[in-house]
Structure 1
Amino acid sequence: MSEAVAAVPRLRTRFTELLGIEHPVVQGGMMWVGRAELAAAVSEAGGLGVLTALTQPTPADLAREIERTRALTDKPFGINLTILPAITPPPYEEYRRVIVDCGVTIVETAGSSPAPHMEFFARHGVRVVHKCTSVRHAVKAERLGVAAVSIDGFECAGHPGEDDVPGLVLVPAAADALTVPFIASGGFTDGRGLAAALALGADGVNMGTRFLCSEEAPVAEAVKRRIVEASELDTRLVFRELRNTARVARNTVSEEVVRILADGGAFADVRPLVAGARGRRVFEDGDLEAGIWSVGLSQGLVRDIAPAGLLVERIVREAREVVERMHRAFAGTGGTRPA
């Protein structure tokens, strides 16, 4: 699908001014998905594209992916560095060294606290945007010195935390508590969502599921078609009993995981079902029943598979139209919704 649109004027917020981008639209740092073609397309359109560091098998591979991205755009892009406990953790120090050596100055951290990495990044002029799922964690991240926060509501794909607070409450609560710029994540797919996030006090939006269903996303076409066909009811929350909740697509595997854990099973009982290699097969082979795979409630609002750059332009244009319509309504000059 293609659609030509005129370039839209810049939409300035504290977040765009901080990072030197044109529009406050960020592509989520999705495992297996945040690669050069997608990140470059989003950045080239004026948003912030994000490479996912741990998608790359080694730090040297990340360096090559950064260079591939630079060959496609000269605009700013970021690197997602997800920090999680592991028996054999990835070589985080080597990944962060590659980020600095390659001259990337925007990093999105997620998972555990970014504290062990803050001094290194600050020393090299890297601005850290920390992703978290609660106001208390956002405030702690601000105290650690992050440049911005990405606040993830209960609607999101992946790990929404254990508080179950949706964006309509979480975003304004974050706005009341933070002084650094922040963007809203979870449930955002279009210009209505961007306008709403700005009205609630955010400085932009982060979108994963919407960009997962873009032409440049390096996943099988069957995955994208399923997102378009699915509704907001077609996700499942797994690992609730383990207090490691994750939102994934509803399929036979996620249903089985829910059943096993609800019946008193332990993680060892579902480990073979939730192996990352199985989820990767979904994205690469298009076998939607091969494993669990992350998708947000916002899939119910995704209607097409479109170029990522067009999505950025469309979202910003729609947000402007929403704001203008509301301005007319409050001004008493007519604000009825167009047919």
Structure 2
Amino acid sequence: MTLPFLTTAVTKTYGISIPVIAGGLMWLSDADYVSAAARAGIMSFITAASFPEPDALRAEIRKCRSLCDGAAFGVNVSMLPKLVPGEKTADVFRLIADEGVQFVETSGRNPEEYMPILKDAGIMVLHKVPSVRYAVKAQSVGVDMVAIVGAECGGHPGMDMIGTMVNAATAAERLTIPYLIGGGIGHGSQIIAALSMGASGVVMGTRFLVAKELNAHADYKARMMEATERDTQLIMHSVRNTVRALANETTATVAKMEQDNPGVTISDLLPHISGQHGRAAYATGDTSRGVLSAGHALAFVDKVEPMAQIVDRLTQEANAALARLSALQSIAPYQESA
């Protein structure tokens, strides 16, 4: 099922059926997941950081291409907030270009220094930011499109903590390049709402955590289905690296450390927040430990099903929302009484 009359910059750029991006998920966005999204008519990105060895990333890209049946896919590159010795981000971009990948999703910091590599290779750049002010900056350095992922999102909502509705409306006033909206998005009606506010599409992550093709333990997916929009917790704001994650023993511990010790550092928290804990949870299904990114779209996570069926449901929901809007057009405009 498609929405053929909803043609946006996102559907045209990626050649997809509906304007939905399945954002890169650390440790989870592999060839199986990304190609399932591609075949379902949406766009997704392999997370390069999940494959730190160049040969492994190259192999995953090639595997994904073989599974996509000619549909578009990309690679997510999460750049560290600041340069560290030995950082190999430029090498990752060169590998992506060498493999002929046409699309990247960047995040973490300003991509300006890498734009020459990407543009010389003809790569389309979607840059992910937590609020509109960063989108304006990204626009100024030449990215093609921005994804603005607000306070309701799983993962990193940034320090401003601006909500999705405000991001969507202000972006229309301040940007000239196409933009997507994310953060708490998991229902087809929200796609229509975002488009009506000026967005060219939406970004979803949490909604797809129960996709059949996602390589995570059945118990992990069962916990996602049990959880509600009330079952997330914000941590790490004190170290300027805010994260929204599934509330569990780890988030409770980290929150207490931040409350009890205002001078806590990222190094102090590292034994609890290491990504390896999250990776273990995906493999074992033990969700009691680890920083497991999850947002308010847990409200819409209800059953494990193939990616294509999730996309069909989103499309049906979007069509229903459009029908409601169509019905409203028959209502006479409101006029104040004299």
TM over 0.5: yes
- Identify the residue that residue 182 of structure 2 maps to in structure 1: 185
* CA separation of 1:157 and 1:87: change in aligned 2, threshold 3 A: same
Q: Which of 245, 249, 256 is residue 252 of structure 1 equivalent to? A: 249
* CA separation of 1:213 and 1:86: change in aligned 2, threshold 3 A: farther
- Identify the residue that residue 285 of structure 1 maps to in structure 2: 284
- Identify the residue that residue 336 of structure 2 maps to in structure 1: none
How far apart are the structure 1 equivalents of 2:126 and 2:182? 12
- Identify the residue that residue 57 of structure 2 maps to in structure 1: 62
Question: What is the one-letter code of the residue matched to 1:324?
Answer: A
Listed as ranges, the matches of 1:301-316 within 5 Å are 301-316=300-315
- Identify the residue that residue 101 of structure 2 maps to in structure 1: 104
Indicate conservation of the 8 Å contact 2:233/2:244, yes or no. Answer: yes
| Structure 2 unaligned spans of 5+ | 333-338
Deviations 1:177-230 (A, max 9, x none): 111111111111120111111122111111111112211111111111111111
- Identify the residue that residue 199 of structure 1 maps to in structure 2: 196
Indicate conservation of the 8 Å contact 2:2/2:17, yes or no. Answer: no
Listed as ranges, the matches of 1:226-245 within 5 Å are 226-245=223-242
Shift of 1:89: 4.9
How far apart are the structure 2 equivalents of 1:92 and 1:305? 35
Listed as ranges, the matches of 1:118-133 within 5 Å are 118-133=115-130
What SS class does the counterpart of residue 331 from structure 1 fall into?
coil
How far apart are the structure 2 equivalents of 1:188 and 1:9? 18
- Identify the residue that residue 336 of structure 1 maps to in structure 2: none
Report % sequence identity.
Answer: 36
How far apart are the structure 1 equivalents of 2:73 and 2:328? 37
* CA separation of 1:213 and 1:89: change in aligned 2, threshold 3 A: farther
- Identify the residue that residue 20 of structure 2 maps to in structure 1: 25
- Identify the residue that residue 335 of structure 2 maps to in structure 1: none
TM-score by length of 1: 0.93
How far apart are the structure 2 equivalents of 1:269 and 1:110? 25
How far apart are the structure 1 equivalents of 2:169 and 2:313? 25
| Structure 1 unaligned spans of 5+ | 1-6, 334-339
How far apart are the structure 2 equivalents of 1:249 and 1:154? 15
Question: What is the one-letter code of the residue matched to 1:252?
Answer: E
Question: What is the one-letter code of the residue matched to 2:199?
Answer: A
Aligned pair count reads 327
Root-mean-square deviation (CA), in Å?
A: 1.5
How far apart are the structure 1 equivalents of 2:318 and 2:198? 15
Deviations 1:253-290 (A, max 9, x none): 11011001101151233221111111111111111123
What SS class does the counterpart of residue 188 from structure 1 fall into?
coil
- Identify the residue that residue 78 of structure 1 maps to in structure 2: 74
- Identify the residue that residue 266 of structure 1 maps to in structure 2: 264
How far apart are the structure 2 equivalents of 1:271 and 1:141? 30
Shift of 1:87: 4.0
How far apart are the structure 2 equivalents of 1:314 and 1:63? 33
TM-score by length of 2: 0.93
Indicate conservation of the 8 Å contact 2:158/2:241, yes or no. Answer: yes
Indicate conservation of the 8 Å contact 1:171/1:200, yes or no. Answer: yes
Deviations 1:12-47 (A, max 9, x none): 112211233222111110100110111111111211
- Identify the residue that residue 148 of structure 1 maps to in structure 2: 145
* CA separation of 1:305 and 1:86: change in aligned 2, threshold 3 A: farther
